[in-house]
Structure 1
Amino acid sequence: MNRKYKITCALTVLTLALTGCASKGKVEKVKPNPLPKLVQAKTLVPVFSNSVASTDEADPLRLRMDVDQGVVFTVNPNGEVEAFNGKQRLWQKKVSKSGLTAGVEAADGIVVVGNAKGQLFALDQATGEQKWVVQLTGALLSPSLIQAGRVISVTNDGTVYANEVATGHQTWTYSLPNVQFSLRGMAAPVALDARNILIASSNAYIYVIDAISGVPKLQRRVAVSDGRSDIQRLIDIDGEPTVAGQFLITTSYQGQVTALDLATQQVIWSNDASSIQRPEVVGNGVFVAQTDGKIVAYEITSGQKLWENDQLLNRNLSNPVMLGQDLVVGDLDGVLHLLNPATGELVGRSKTSGEVRTLRVVDNQLYVSTRKGALSIWQNR
């Protein structure tokens, strides 16, 4: 069974696992919880929006916007990349006739995107002109990371690549262990510090690699699964790990939320939780959006549960982020929910178009990407 088939098979079974069976044998989706009523609800203010092509409902791609030097860069699944200064479009370039499945990463004067054929493109930030393109061995399904003069990318065949920012020249590769089954998707590489990067894998391990030399410095399992079947043992880390001081927080599908002490390289606590989203860490709080729609807060040093909100069950929640004083999470209907991070109480909402796939906060502004191709930036009132 080749890897592509295995991934497709796993995704199909996962979809069925998240549905319920009707009395006549038909399969029907679990209904999402209705939106709870709010009194004197807060709202967010939209400051930018752009519409691009949508992605397939079953496709887990989390295409995102990025910003560098005040310029916003957007990626279109149909193969285009655009740059905006405020609402003014600076340039628009058709990059790939085969579409784009990964991006955007913008830093060091370049914009990096990739496609399902394993092509990695670097564009000049100022003009949009192509600086280089390289062919990798597998599909690119998550954004790259620009770090220490390298473009770090992870392909869906489990290979980590480092290419020089200036030329695209390949400097090193690192092969992650192959797994029999995995979800379609891959966590993006994360900066640990000025030189080292974090890679999360489908086998529930995290790896620390020197971005310049490619030398591995740490390999640590952070989740376990006791399922009986291959599907029940799926334990991918699809959400990026979060670094908070000496702590590394990870989540996994059908696994755990885990806190690793980077100084001792030991797991200090672990709680059962299933999530494919990046956890948010603010102060002493670790915030996790689970696959069932629960939002749970943990104390970072002990793992003690601080609160749990189950009002958004089965609403396909995005990753949670902190915007000002509010915790924000998006859902399948394009609703942006605002929660009190101290209590978990829902305190407000705003609405965009399409299932929210990715949330980011940059310079106290919320960057939102949806499956329907609605790209928007919001801020607090």
Structure 2
Amino acid sequence: MNRKYKIACALTVLTLALAGCASKGAKVEEAKPNPLPKLVQAKTLVPVFSTNVASASEADPLRLRLDVDNGVIFVINPNGEVEAYRGKQRLWQKKVSKQGLSSGVEAADGLVVVGSSKGQLYALDQATGEEKWSAQLSGAILAPSLIHAGRVISIANDGTVYAHEAATGKQAWTYNLPNVQFSLRGQAAPVPLDARNVLIASANAYIYALDAVSGAPKMQRRVAVTEGRSDIQRLIDIDGDPAVAGQFVVTTSYQGQVTVLDLVSQQVVWSEDASSIQRPEVQGNGVFVAQTDGKITAYEITTGSKLWENDQLLNRQLSNPVMLGNVLVVGDMDGVLHLLNPATGEIVGRSKTSGEVRTLRVIDGQLYAATRKGAMSVWQNR
């Protein structure tokens, strides 16, 4: 049985659903999300662009992120289509897969790359949407690929890392991550470490540095531990993308820790207990983490000291936090985009999209949001 499907129920309501998996038949009282706090003179974001695609399953934690390259926005539709927009003008729309798509978009070097739950990897021409090449992987593709150093790096959910030549689609190498018996249904995307190497995070709480061109391993390091007694309690996946900030790599793990690793010494600088499946945000000396219980915590990057913690959004199923200009933005289950003061953690404003916010990105000073209901939108800070 494919390891990513063994406890798919675990991400329905995260901790509560995990409790249901662990004790079948036991009644679990669902924690209610905190009501929205009242705000005085609330800030809002300025909408720039929006479109709607098909919704994703509530039980499937797909993060169908948008991407942008050369001023063109590329949007994925879970029903199998990819669309390209310049401003509000749609340049093209292509049906890529009759079986649907399951990964977010990666756009670079003239390519648009997407993947399916059947392990099909597609590379399209940015200008026309025409397929340039495709490849078959050994498992579902749940995270966006990475185009880096002339390679398209992708991860199948059976733990196999693939590299294909960006120009031709020819397979260059594979790397097998250690098999994990139980894991959440999700996968961190590969991220660039430097001009040559990439970082891969896995369900066994390790991160791996691989040479993008040859596939040669350069580093492996455990960045989280667990003290759980059962298989469910010992889940410690790194599902949020690692954040590279100078000489540091910041990771978060489910039922684990937020950890800062020094790339020079390859030693852990500090580690603090925190459960998160989202990518941490790093800005200046601050590390910002949205935890699975809805707390947002800020740490000092070199010492791990807690700068502040906000618990006003408990049980609101938060997205990854991102910095947009001078505000920290995080989305929630109702499509609310919360604006926080990064120095104090105070909520200073909000805007609204439609559906549970799954991914946030900031590119060239604009916020790109994707929700479970298929709302894809771009925002600016006032």
Question: TM-score, normalized by length of structure 1?
Answer: 0.97
- C-alpha offsets along residues 3-47 of structure 1, whole Å, 9 cap, x if unaligned? 25524365578552468xxxx974442100000000000000000
Q: Which residue of 2 aligns with 1:311?
A: 312
- Compute the displacement of 1:314 (Å): 0.2
Match of 1:118 in 2: 119
Q: Deviations over 1:78-126 (max 9, x none)?
A: 0000000100000000000000001200001010000000000000000
Do the aligned partners of residues 18 and 373 (structure 1) sit closer, same or farther apart at CA in structure 2, a change above 3 Å counting? Answer: farther
- Whether 1:354 aligns to 2:355 is yes
Cα distance 1:202–1:147, how it changes in 2: closer, same or farther (>3 A)? same
Partners of 1:213 and 1:294 in 2: how far apart?
Answer: 41
Whether contact under 8 Å (2:226, 2:236) holds in the other structure is yes
Whether the 8 Å contact between 2:247 and 2:262 is mirrored in structure 1 is yes
Q: Which residues of 2 match residues 177-196 of structure 1 at below 5 A?
A: 177-196=178-197
1:261 Cα offset (Å): 0.3
Q: Whole-Å Cα distance in 1 between the matches of residues 285 and 116 of structure 2?
A: 38
What does the per-residue CA deviation read over 1:234-292, in whole Å, with 9 as the maximum and x for residues that have no partner?
00000000001111000000000000000000001000000000000000000000000
Cα distance in 2 between the residues matched to 1:25 and 1:205: 33
1:247 alignment partner in structure 2? 248
Does the CA-based 8 Å contact 1:368-1:376 persist in structure 2? yes
Residue 3 (structure 1) aligns with: 3
Q: Are the aligned partners of 2:5 and 2:185 in contact in 1 as well (CA < 8 Å)? A: no
1:1-381 to structure 2, matched below 5 A, reads 2-8=2-8, 10-11=10-11, 14-17=15-18, 26-381=27-382
Does the 8 Å CA contact 1:235/1:253 hold for their aligned counterparts?
yes
Asked if structure 2 preserves the Cα contact closer than 8 Å seen for 1:161 and 1:174, the reply is yes
Q: CA deviation at 1:63?
A: 0.6
In 1, Cα distance between equivalents of 2:40 and 2:11: 39
What is the CA–CA distance in structure 2 between the aligned matches of 1:300 and 1:5, rounded to whole Å? 35
Which amino acid is the alignment partner of residue 6 of structure 2? K
The 3 A distance-change label for structure 1 pair 156 and 7 is farther
CA distance in 1, matches of 2:50, 2:4: 35
Cα–Cα, structure 1 residues 154 and 25, in superposed 2: closer, same or farther, change >3 Å? closer
Q: 1:18·1:30 contact (CA, 8 Å) conserved in 2?
A: no
In 2: Cα distance, 1:2 partner to 1:292 partner: 28
Whole-angstrom distance in 1 between the partners of 2:42 and 2:3: 47
Give, in angstroms, the shift of residue 149 of structure 1.
Answer: 0.4
- Partner Cα separation in structure 1 for residue 146 and residue 274 of structure 2: 27
Write out per-residue CA displacement over residues 331-380 of structure 1, whole angstroms, 9 at most, x where no aligned residue.
00000000000000000000000000000000000000000000000001
**Distance in 2 of aligned mates of 1:90 and 1:78:** 19
The one-letter amino acid of 1:356's match is V
The separation in 2 between residues aligned to 1:11 and 1:62, in whole angstroms, is 13
Q: Secondary structure at the match of 2:17?
A: helix
1:16 alignment partner, SS class: helix
Match of 2:105, SS?
A: strand
Contact 2:125–2:131 under 8 Å retained in 1: yes
Instruction: Could you tell me which runs of 5 or more consecutive residues in structure 1 were left unpaired when the two chains were aligned.
Output: none
Post-superposition Cα deviations, 1:119-158, rounded to whole Å, max 9, x if no partner, equal 0000000000000111010000010000000000001000
Instruction: Give, in whole Å, the separation in 1 of the partners of 2:179 and 2:146.
Output: 22
Contact 2:11 2:60 in 1 (8 A): no
Q: Offset of 1:58 from its aligned partner?
A: 1.1
* Rounded Cα–Cα distance in structure 2 between residues aligned with 1:254 and 1:147: 31
Distance 2:108 2:19 in 1: 38
CA contact (8 A) 2:11 2:18 kept: no
Structure 2 gap segments, 5+ residues each: none
Displacement after TM superposition at 1:2 (Å)? 4.7
State how far apart, in whole Å, the 1-side matches of 2:15 and 2:36 are: 25
Tell me the TM-score normalised to structure 2 length: 0.96
Contact 1:10 1:181 survives alignment (8 Å): no
CA separation of 1:5 and 1:312: change in aligned 2, threshold 3 A: closer
Amino acid at match of 2:61: P
8 Å contact kept, 1:14–1:231: no
Secondary structure of the residue aligned to 2:308 is: strand
Q: Aligned letter for 1:329?
A: V
Give the AA of the match of 1:348. Answer: G
Aligned mates of 2:162, 2:59 — CA distance in 1: 27
Letter in 1 for 2:338: H
1:18/1:325 Cα in 2 relative to 1: closer, same or farther (>3 Å)? Answer: farther
Supply the AA of the counterpart residue of 2:3.
Answer: R
